């Protein structure tokens, strides 16, 4: 597997550095994440004036690239992403922070920690979206018609703000950055997994459904696999919360909530695909041995693939390797979690029907190739 993002690298001093670092803990050298290069890197101090401090990439692959710190570096988000000097002195925010339309009121001291936790999750999401070649443009300042934006809101009560997506705006209930609040909601909703990162990945699925899939040549194949999204959404959700998930959801969906409506099935499947890509990418980047397949009694085979059509002459062995590696790795990681007295790392069991939907998402993303034109779909 090719590593999409270098979440670990080595400082110029030779010591390891990581995705979230802004400073080498060994030598004190400044660090920053370049989303275009998809890597964390060492920096060399450049020219300084009364407005900005500039830095130069210290590695050979980024020689000559001049950066500034994101303006949120010294604020609550503590953002370590870099802004290319060539983007102009008026572009103060990085590609992730400029997606924010509304941020928590910083006159309230408690909001700083909550905002920081949300941004950690959001940076993880956005770095993956960029690396996968998906369009990531700010609805606030770059693409006011089709771009993406976040409203990070804090309500007087935890239930006052509903996390969701509408017309390119993802709303996040920042109160859920508080662990006790989020765990209370998770138990009340009877969910095996509920995290900030899971929220932003799920809601990004809704965004890209409308941004790329709706009305494209992928639309009819989507309906054949996920169902007809024209069924009333509000009624479907009311039925789910009153009567629970479909009885056979485990045979067709990645989670119980995915059975509520085709839109939720897509968003949940999309989020799980991003979970899988990022975790396997990280494992590969850290050189974790890929020897867990022997734990699988029944590895997934070609029967789970969604469409072996003319565009895909050969069976998709790449995807089968991907999903089987995931199953093997999570078997081990679940045991690690249990060994520490924690819940399962990945508290889900993927059925053949769910894997077929994951393959659809995989093919859709792979076909996209960083263009504003939706990819040609399977027929």
Q: Read off the pTM.
A: 0.92
Q: What percent of the chain has pLDDT over 90?
A: 74
Q: What is the reported pLDDT for 54?
A: 63
pLDDT in tens, 276-330: 999 999 998 888 867 776 677 788 999 999 875 545 545 789 999 999 999 999 9
Query: If you write DSSP's letter for every residue of 151-180 in order, what string do you get?
Result: EEE--SSGGGS--EEETTEEEEEGGGGSHH
d(CA 228, CA 281): 33
Across the chain, mean pLDDT equals 89
Single out the residue of 261, 272, 237 nearest to residue 354, CA to CA.
Answer: 272
**299: Cβ contacts below 8 Å, ≥ 6 apart:** 293, 320, 324, 327
Residue 263 has pLDDT above 80, yes or no: yes
d(CA 366, CA 247): 32
pLDDT in tens, 201-242: 999 999 999 999 999 999 999 999 999 999 999 999 999 999
Q: What is the reported pLDDT for 47?
A: 57
Q: What is the reported pLDDT for 63?
A: 60
Contact 17, 24 (CB under 8 A): yes
pLDDT in tens, 31-81: 999 999 899 988 888 755 433 456 666 555 566 688 899 999 999 999 999
Taking the CA of residue 118 as centre, how many other CA atoms within 13 Å lie in the half-sphere pointing to its CB?
A: 30
Contact 280, 329 (CB under 8 A): yes
Q: What is the reported pLDDT for 277?
A: 96
* Longest CA–CA separation in the chain, Å: 65
> Looking at residues 120-126, what average pLDDT do you find?
98
Q: What is the reported pLDDT for 306?
A: 85
pLDDT in tens, 133-159: 999 999 999 999 999 999 999 987 767
> Looking at residues 193-198, what average pLDDT do you find?
96
Residue 379 has pLDDT above 70, yes or no: no
């Amino acid at each position: 597997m090719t590593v999409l993002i270098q979440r670990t690298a080595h400082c110029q001093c030779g010591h390891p550095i990581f995705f979230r670092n802004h400073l080498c803990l060994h030598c004190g050298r400044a660090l920053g994440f370049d989303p275009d290069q998809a890597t964390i890197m060492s920096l060399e101090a450049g020219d300084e004036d009364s407005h900005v401090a500039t830095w130069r990439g210290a590695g050979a692959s980024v020689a000559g690239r001049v950066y500034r710190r994101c303006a949120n570096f010294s604020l609550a988000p503590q953002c370590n992403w870099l802004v290319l000097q060539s983007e102009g002195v008026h572009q103060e925010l990085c590609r992730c922070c400029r997606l924010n339309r509304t941020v928590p009121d910083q006159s309230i001291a408690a909001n700083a920690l909550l905002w920081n936790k949300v941004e950690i999750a959001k940076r993880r999401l956005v770095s993956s979206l960029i690396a996968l070649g998906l369009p990531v443009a700010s609805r606030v300042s770059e693409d006011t018609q089709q771009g993406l934006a976040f409203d990070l809101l804090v309500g007087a009560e935890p239930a006052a703000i509903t996390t969701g997506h509408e017309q390119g705006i993802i709303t996040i209930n920042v109160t859920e950055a508080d662990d006790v609040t989020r765990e209370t909601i998770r138990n009340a909703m009877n969910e095996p997994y509920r995290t900030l990162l899971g929220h932003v990945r799920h809601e990004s699925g809704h965004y890209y459904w409308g941004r790329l899939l709706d009305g494209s040549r992928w639309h009819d194949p989507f309906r054949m696999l996920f169902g007809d999204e024209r069924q009333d959404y509000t009624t479907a959700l009311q039925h789910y919360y009153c009567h629970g998930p479909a009885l056979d959801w485990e045979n067709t969906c990645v989670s119980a909530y995915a059975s509520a409506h085709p839109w939720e099935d897509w968003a949940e499947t999309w989020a799980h695909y991003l979970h899988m890509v990022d975790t396997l990418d990280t494992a590969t980047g850290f050189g974790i041995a890929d020897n867990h397949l022997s734990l699988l009694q029944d590895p997934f085979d070609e029967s789970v693939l969604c469409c072996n059509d003319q565009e895909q002459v050969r069976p998709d062995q790449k995807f089968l390797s991907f999903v089987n590696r995931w199953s093997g790795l999570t078997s081990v990681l679940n045991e690690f979690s249990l060994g520490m007295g924690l819940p399962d790392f990945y508290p889900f069991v993927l059925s053949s029907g769910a894997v077929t939907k994951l393959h659809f998402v995989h093919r859709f993303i792979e076909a996209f190739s960083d263009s504003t034109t939706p990819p040609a779909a399977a027929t």
